[in-house]
Amino acid sequence: MFELIKKTMLTGVGLAAMTKDKVEELARELTKKGEMSEKEGKELIDELLKKSEQARKDLETKVEDIVRKVLEKMDLATKGDIDRLAERIKRLEQKET
């Protein structure tokens, strides 16, 4: 299971870790070297920022799913389970009095 978590994290980390500053720096370097125009640089920035944000969201979703599945396999009580039991105990205690 750890390997699955590790692979999932590594899949999205590269793009998800790209900050706006890093994206802009990359585009400036490519523009400076003449490998792209300023307009193309701006388009690249916009595209990479969108993909970076989507990768972050996808990574977050994958990690949440993996954690949820691991917790289900561990057969741990959820907060909802505990809340329901606490409410049931409260009702039973009220019946006794």
Q: What is the pLDDT of residues 59-86, one digit of tens each?
A: 889 888 998 888 788 888 889 999 999 9
Q: Map tokens 């009580």 to a residue.
A: 77
Residues in the chain: 97
**Contact partners, residue 44, CB within 8 Å, separation at least 6:** 23, 26, 27, 30, 36
Residue 82: predicted pLDDT: 95
DSSP H helical ranges for 1-97? 2-16, 20-32, 38-74, 79-96
pTM of the model: 0.49
Q: What is the pLDDT of residues 22-50, one digit of tens each?
A: 767 777 777 777 776 777 777 877 777 78
Q: How many domains does the chain have?
A: 1
Angle at 51 between CA 50 and CA 57, to 5 degrees: 95
d(Cα 45, Cα 39) in Å, to the nearest integer? Answer: 10
CB atoms within 10 A of CB 72: 10
Q: pLDDT band at 4, cuts 50/70/90? A: very low
Residue 15: predicted pLDDT: 57
Give the residue numbers spanning the domain of 6. Answer: 2-96
